[in-house]
Amino acid sequence: MNAATVLIGGAGLAVLVWVLAKLGRAFAAIAETLAALAFLGLALWGLVRVGGWIVRQLATHWRTCLALLALGAWWRWLGWPSLAVTAGSVGLVALVWRSGWPVGFEQWCGRWVRAWWLRWAVYGRKLPGWLHACGLTVRDEAIPVDVTVNLVSRRRKREAVAQSRRDAGVAFPRVLRVRSGPSWDEVRVRLVPGQTPEDFGEATRALATARRVTRVQVREISPDVVSVDFMRRDLLASAVSCLPLPDVAEASAVDLRRVFAGSTEYGTAWRLPLLGGGAHILVAGASGAGKNSVMWSPLVSAAPAIRSGLVRVSGVDPKGMELAYGRGIFCRYAVSGKEALEVLEALRDELERRKRAFAGQTREVPLSQEFPLELLEFDELAALTRYTDRKTRDAITEHVSVLNTQGRAALISVRGYVQDPTKETVPVRELFTRRVCLRVTSKSQVSMVLGDGAYERGAWANRIPESTPGVGYVWGEGIREPLRVRAGWVSDATVKALENYVTNGGAQVIDLAQNRCDSNGKGAA
């Protein structure tokens, strides 16, 4: 190899090294640029996620966020001694306020503070575990089963739930809002895909056990949002009083479409219609369950209208005891099957008369003293629709069916009371537009009265204790979930006072054995 060849080879190698060096620096610059862009993108993505989280927290928990910001600013500018003194003063004022004026404290302060505390200390921390244990989460089948099984140890259970969240294998309903009232906590949650409100309704007993309360109510707010209500204490444990009889009252002051009947489990007034849609009411309950309270409490509330003649009450009392105690209230009164047929025939004649008078003129008879609301109180309905001779039974069933199907527009309402709600005992059961289930003897009777699915949704009428007469469940027109109620208790003295109030007001009491209502619907003298 001569010198020229070595020189050329060395030069070529030098050029190659120089080119590689240049390319290496270029690749390094490109790599540095790409790394910088990736870092900036990751940082920007993180900022967006953090910003979105902050915005969501501000939108969802804006009260807590503002409170924390205010406390932080106070501590930063005024120091912690002044903050401690102010917090102690506020606590002392709240304690005095709660002791002296509990109603005002609850309305303006107590419920908000309690809801905030329950949101962060109870439901936000524990509800995911309760829902998971009750099967109210959606799990990806690819996740191993041992991740989602129920564990005995509370610590291991929390760890399993946290791990499931990290693995994104289990989707949990999200808590949207917590409201706290005197007796109920309302926890509003958003469902995850794959869940329905019925899933929560079927798990009410399991949720009650998890929360260690006696009752849980699930209400559908929207297709993907439900309110899980936990009852902390029972407002219906003590008796509810009926309305007092007014000294002087105008009949127009009584709203016959919303007559006071008692109280609901939420502490609000329970109202029943005597007129219009839902006025045909069937009340079922065992002996001593409080059916008489459901009967008398609305009559006490409607006393001014009965006294003025805008409401005319008829009574069928197979026992001859309950309605007889307030006999003067009833325009028509019957005990035997024959007398019951006469009462029903009179009401049916009145129905036909009103149909002839108003056909083609109006869709509902206007309420007046000439055409009052005809209200039939039918106690012990099964005694005459089941336990009597066949001819009388069939005739009574036919008349009640006609009144229930045609009476609403003609201002005729039927309210029946029964102990055994089976179809064989009460063949017209389905014709009552609103039904009330008091204490019954078996779980199957709940569905007989309120319909399929009522028990699963929380209408546990077979579990009502005998010590709480008048407590029951309503699931009728306009009510999607069973509502627990308690009818106002009416004493014997109140019944006699009602009778005196009505008769002294000029109401014409008709003795069925001697007189009948005339063709104009007015009582014959």
Q: Report the sign of the C-alpha dihedral through residues 101, 106, 107, 108, in that order.
A: positive
Residue with tokens 């009260």: 63
The DSSP H or E segment spanning 333 is strand 330-334
Is 72 annotated as a binding-site member?
no
Cβ-contact 494, 298 below 8 angstroms: no
What's at 25, amino acid-wise? R
Query: Among 189, 184, 191, which residue's Cα sits nearest to residue 217?
Result: 184
What count of other Cβ atoms lies within 10 Å of the Cβ of residue 310? 21
- Complete DSSP assignment for 1-42: --HHHHHHHHHHHHHHHHHHHHHHHHHHHHHHHHHHHHHHHH
Is 338 annotated as a binding-site member?
no
Q: In what order do the strands lie in the sheet with 281-284?
A: 269-272, 259-264, 483-487, 471-474, 434-437, 281-284, 412-418, 373-378, 311-316, 330-334
Residues counted in the chain: 525
Query: Alpha carbon 224 to chain centroid distance?
Result: 17
- What are the φ/ψ torsions at residue 82 (nearest 5 degrees)? -65, -35
Torsion of CA 326, 329, 333, 335, to 10 degrees: -10
Is 336 annotated as a binding-site member?
no
- What are the φ/ψ torsions at residue 446 (nearest 5 degrees)? -65, -45
Query: Among 294, 245, 304, 246, which residue's Cα sits nearest to residue 272?
Result: 294
Interatomic CA distance for residues 407 and 319, integer angstroms: 26
Is 461 annotated as a binding-site member?
no
Query: Among 424, 363, 375, which residue's Cα sits nearest to residue 403?
Result: 375
Is 505 annotated as a binding-site member?
no
Is 290 annotated as a binding-site member?
yes
Residues near 387 by beta carbon (within 8 Å), at least 6 away in sequence: none
Is 292 annotated as a binding-site member?
yes
The 3-state secondary structure of 65-93, one letter per residue: HHHHHHHHHHHHHHCHHHHHHHHHHHHHH
What's at 341, amino acid-wise? L
Interatomic CA distance for residues 431 and 436, integer angstroms: 14
Query: Alpha carbon 26 to chain centroid distance?
Result: 71
Is 289 annotated as a binding-site member?
yes
Interatomic CA distance for residues 436 and 132, integer angstroms: 34
The DSSP H or E segment spanning 205 is helix 204-211
Query: Among 168, 504, 29, which residue's Cα sits nearest to residue 304?
Result: 504
Cβ-contact 291, 435 below 8 angstroms: no
Interatomic CA distance for residues 271 and 102, integer angstroms: 27
Binding site for ATP: residue ranges?
285-292
Binding site: residue ranges?
285-292
